[in-house]
Amino acid sequence: MIQVSRRRLLCALAAAPLARVAGPAAAAGPAAAAVGASPYRKLLVVVELKGGNDGLNTLVPYTDPAYYALRPKLGIARDAVVQLSDRAGLHPSLTPLHALWSARELAALQGVGYPQPNLSHFRSIEIWDTASDSDAYVRDGWLARTFAARPVPQDFAADGVVVGSNDLGPLAGSRAGTRAIALSDPQQFVRRAALAQPAAAAGNAALAHILKVESDIVQARSHLAGSHTFDTAFTTDAFGAAVKTACELAANPAGVAAIRLSLGSFDTHVGQAGTQARLLADLARGLVTLKAALTELGRWDDTLVLTYSEFGRRPKENQSAGTDHGTSSVLFAIGGRVAGGFYGAPPDLADLRGDGNPRHALDFRAVYATVLDRWWGIDSRDALGGRYEPVPFLRA
Amino acid sequence: MPALPRRVARFAVAGILAAAVPAWSASLPMGEADARHLLSRTGFGPTAADVRTFASLSRDEGVDRVLAATRTRVTAVTPPPAWTAETGPLRPAAAAAPEERRDFARRQALRVAELRAWWVQEMLATPSPLTERLTLFWHNHFVSSQQKVRVARLMYAQNALYRSEALGNFATLLHAAAKDPAMVVYLDSAQNRKGAPNENFAREVMELFTLGQGHYGEQDVKEAARAFTGWSLDRDTGTFLFRPRLHDDGDKTVLGRTGRFDGDAVLDVLLARPETAELVVGKLWQELVSPVPDAREVARIARAFRAANYEIIVPVRELLRSAAFWAPAQRGALVKSPVDLVVGALRQLDQSPADTRPYALAVAGMGQNLFAPPNVRGWPGGDAWINSNTLLARKQFVDRLARSDAVVMELAKAPAAQRVLLPIAPQLPSPPDADAALAIRTTLLDPAYQLK
């Protein structure tokens, strides 16, 4: 009987390729910035509202008769909205965000979209994730491209972490030197990561991808051990759990440049009211918890949170008490250095396009340009494939 | 162990020679490397015994044998749960007590978990693995999800439909899938009424089921949606029902053709377009051959597909007999899906679990929750199967499965066991003092084990 212990196997595996562990670090070479100076000490948290969130019922134009005419069933009554101005108010489920608004830490970016909008979920989120023109097909995500051009320091746990979702969105990228990690629970990740082994990249594209992921795991693992205990109480819904993971990552001294959370599905073709109310309530509670925990860590002033969605929904409700795919929508920017207020312009419901959807007021790439140029202070032109004027929603 | 890379190299050379001289090689015994390749692409995790059986056949004979098994297999060999035969109302009445509605939802969640375990069992037991592969392929093409449908028996009925037409006729399948009750719920067809269109099904049938993006316009979606009005469900029986009074019977113009189209007529308009066959053949290529289809070959096979009135076996046979399929560069070029990995590892490690529920859960944990694809486009597959989260779940699964010495030693007894496990040379060096069992475990944790 031959005895084979699992430990022996792991030891044997671990011993063999040690020399290669240094590979990725060496490859980055002089491009890797000194740690203290890196712009990526400032954290970006992007929150994808999957399925196409209805912007019109997120930030409600409660004085516009056209809104109530288009939304006989789904319109949110004037006395139910959380009034932010004499024209616009939040969905009642977003009541917890009012504290952020009062603290001038919430920017409502209105009418964000792009020319020649695509109404397919998949194509439109691809356009958002890759920051491409409507008719251009780009492989890598806008954050992955940014990190490839301006590398995140090697002592970071990873460039970006995708929490609780298997698609990498804006962090999807194939280039050497970028490191995106997907996980749901950091502790479980560290336990399992012992099974990953770096090996020399060789062979076909599928193999190269697997070897790169193994190498990213090995590097992230060495940084993510240990956990942080918060005084802040996290909510127990799925989004609350993802927020907790984001906060644990933010607490880790090794750092990550970007975290992507997601929530959904907002694809409310039928019976929209209940679904959107539940999801927006999860969102608002999660964002308020995020602020509390990051404030506890002293990191709220170094954090920018940005929501996004592949599109808004059609202003005219359908006959199923739902809404069909639309175009531009409202985004939120939240953080200790956000200059709260309204940006862009609300949809002009008296001037809809032929398909019944609003024209966009603000290109989503101008929002990304703000993140790159103003938040991280790195030139946005290459990553975005053009010059977009940043939106002044950040304080100096 | 040092002999392994040499053997692999010899196989690769044999592959190159064979690919260069297809005319006569087609009638020669294909050998173990080709047998392994054919079986791993058309089935789940070939065993050493499977490989030996096919090695003595020629490539054409091997393909024919794989396809012959699909001809008779149109139902599952594993008996489905008894409740799948239930008839009657789909859901508790609107007036039902809240407890009754809660119990109903809980029961449906348990049932779909049973269904997942049943399907994994069928994949292990079937005499025609290609039938299950293509049933899964159609599940990922004509997508519906229990997360929206919420009635397990409808998900079962849809699965049975996809199995019965797995290698049947695509036109028949398209018409049947469009009216399948789970699909009617999933893409809101029952909400699509005259004067109050819901475009969900009309858009997805063009974008995902037939033409693909860029081959239709927004106006086509609107017009087609009118043609599909009136398609509905009988809530008392759970069967498809056409409601003439909700149907818009006016003229519609779809893709340049005008008529008083109903839904079936629009599907026929879509089937008449070359893009439909090309989309399906391109997806079959990615399922069977390689991640990047060869456009010229796809166009050729798509023409044959249409000429054969959409008999699915035609493009499948063409793809399996193509030079591209057998090319050495395509060995190990596809990432195993979670189903490939879990069902394949169970087969290769000769495991016949009495309870397959944990394995259905393992598949879900790797990102492929059967009967619940993430959205109407289905699982993207390919490289997207692998990220840090899913790769670690895969390695942990294999590691646990291989923890039993008895299991690993049994596998190690087979001659050249490692060559059966990996499509290409191992990426990790074998531990210097490895005995047979440790060598097998190292092989199972090798990155190349994630490929097929």
CA distance B439 to B282: 38
Does the distance separating the beta carbons of B193 and A2 come in below 8 Å? no
Closest CB to B441 among A4, A199, A205: A4
Q: How far is B336 from chain A (nearest CA, A)?
A: 10
Contact predicate A67/A75, CB 8 Å: yes
Position A176 scores a pLDDT of 65
- A197:B403 CB<8 A: no
Q: Band the pLDDT of A372: cuts 50, 70, 90.
A: very high
Average pLDDT over chain A, rounded to an integer: 88
E strand residue ranges, A100-200: 106-113, 158-163, 180-183
- Give the integer Cα–Cα distance in Å for A227 and A247: 10
Question: Residue written as tokens 């599109």?
Answer: A311
Q: For chain A, what's the residue count? A: 396
d(CA B41, CA B133): 9
B337 and B267 assigned to the same domain: no
Calpha distance A374→B166 (Å, rounded)? 54
Query: Which one-letter amino acid corresponds to residue A178?
Result: T
> Is B424 close to A196, i.e. CB distance below 8 A?
no
Residue A40 has pLDDT above 60, yes or no: yes
Residue where a domain terminates, one of B222, B254, B271: B271
From the list B393, B437, B442, which residue is nearest A13 (CB)? B442
pLDDT of res. A297:
96
- State how beta strands A256-263 and A59-61 pair: unpaired
The separation between CA B163 and the C-alpha centre of its own chain, rounded to angstroms, equals: 10
DSSP letter for each residue of B210-260: SS-TTSS-HHHHHHHHHHTTTEEEETTTTEEEE-GGG---S-EEETTEEE-
Inside any domain, residue B95: yes
Tell me whether residue B327 is exposed, middle or buried, using C-beta atoms within 10 angstroms of its C-beta: 0 to 12, 13 to 18, 19 or more: middle
Where a domain ends, among B271, B297, B320? Answer: B271
Q: Within 10 A of B320 (CB to CB), how many other CB atoms are there?
A: 23
Residue A139 is inside which H or E element, if any?
none
Q: Give the pLDDT of residue A178.
A: 78
Which residue matches tokens 């149907």? B247
- B349 contacts B44 by C-beta, under 8 angstroms: no
Residue of chain B whose alpha carbon sits nearest to that of A218: B388
**Structural domains in chain B (count):** 2
Same domain as B344, residue B255? no
Q: How far apart are CA A373 and CA A362, in angstroms?
A: 17
The predicted structure's pLDDT at residue B14: 43
> Is the ipTM beyond the 0.85 threshold?
yes
Q: Determine the distance from the C-alpha atom of residue A254 to the mean position of all C-alpha atoms in its chain, rounded to a whole number.
A: 20
* H or E stretch at A88: strand A88-90
Within the 102-121 window of chain A, which residues sit less than 8 Å (CB to CB) from chain B? 119-121
Instruction: Kindly report the length of chain B.
Output: 452
pLDDT at residue B432, rounded to an integer = 76
Q: Could you give the CA distance from residue B288 to residue A170 in angstroms, rounded to a whole number?
A: 29
Residue A202 has a pLDDT of 67
Residue B28 lies in a domain: no
Q: B243: left (phi > 0), else alpha (psi -120 to 50), else beta? A: beta
Residues B267 and B341 in one domain: no
> Whose CA is closest to A40, among A123, A183, A170, A153?
A153
Inter-residue contact B61 to B88 (CB < 8 Å) = no
User: What is the C-alpha to C-alpha distance for residues A189 and A301, in angstroms, rounded to an integer?
Assistant: 28
Instruction: Please give the residue range of the domain that contains residue B404.
Output: 4-19+333-450
pLDDT at residue B415, as a whole number: 66
Spatial neighbors of A95 by CB under 8 A, at least 6 apart, are A82, A284
Closest CA to B182 of B164, B208, B207, B157: B157
- Of A351, A272, A252, A338, the residue nearest A301 (C-alpha): A338
Strand partners, B371: none
Q: Indicate the SS3 state at residue A262.
A: strand
Interval A48-101: pLDDT, tens: 999 999 999 999 999 999 999 999 999 999 999 999 999 999 999 999 999 999
Least confident window among A285-289, B329-333, B417-421? B417-421
- A3, A199, A319: residue with CB nearest B193: A319
Answer yes or no: do A193 and B387 touch at CB < 8 A: no
B173, amino acid identity: L
Tokens of A151: 């590398």
Top-confidence residue, A174 or B104: B104
* Distance separating alpha carbons of residues B296 and B281, to the nearest angstrom: 11
Closest CA to B256 of B226, B219, B227: B219
Q: Alpha helices, DSSP H only, in B349-425?
A: 357-365, 388-401, 405-413, 417-421
- pLDDT of A253: 86
SS3 B201: helix
Q: Look up residue A152 and give its DSSP letter.
A: P
Task: Please tell me whether residues B127 and B261 are part of one structural domain.
Answer: yes
pLDDT in tens, B242-280: 999 999 999 999 999 999 999 999 999 999 999 999 999
Residue of B387, B396, B413 to mutate when probing chain A, most A C-beta within 10 A: B387
Assigned domain for B191 exists:
yes
A2-384 classified as CATH 3.40.720: yes
CA distances from B264 to A191, A393, B183 (A): 54, 52, 15
pLDDT digits (tens, 9 = 90+) for B169-186: 999 999 999 999 999 999
B155 and B257 together in one domain: yes
Mean pLDDT of B139-165: 96
Q: What is residue A55's predicted lDDT score, i.e. its pLDDT?
A: 98
B386 with A209: Cβ contact below 8 A: yes
Domain boundary among B220, B251, B271: B271
On whether residue B9 sits in a domain, the answer given is yes
Say whether residue B447 is in contact with chain A using an 8 A CB cutoff: yes
Q: In this structure, what are the phi and psi dihedrals at residue A285, rounded to the nearest 5 degrees? A: -60, -40
Residue A238: partners with Cβ closer than 8 Å, 6 or more residues away:
A164, A263, A282
Q: Which residue has the tokens 């039902």?
A: B96
Higher model confidence: residue B125 or residue B414?
B125
Distance CA B312, CA B168 (A): 6
Cβ–Cβ contact B448 with A under 8 A: yes
Strand B252-254 with B239-242, pairing: unpaired
* Cis status of the peptide bond prior to A265, with omega within 30 of 0: yes
Decide if A237 contacts A164 (C-beta within 8 A).
no
Q: How far apart are CA A111 and CA A127, in angstroms?
A: 16
Q: What is the mean pLDDT of residues B110-133?
A: 97
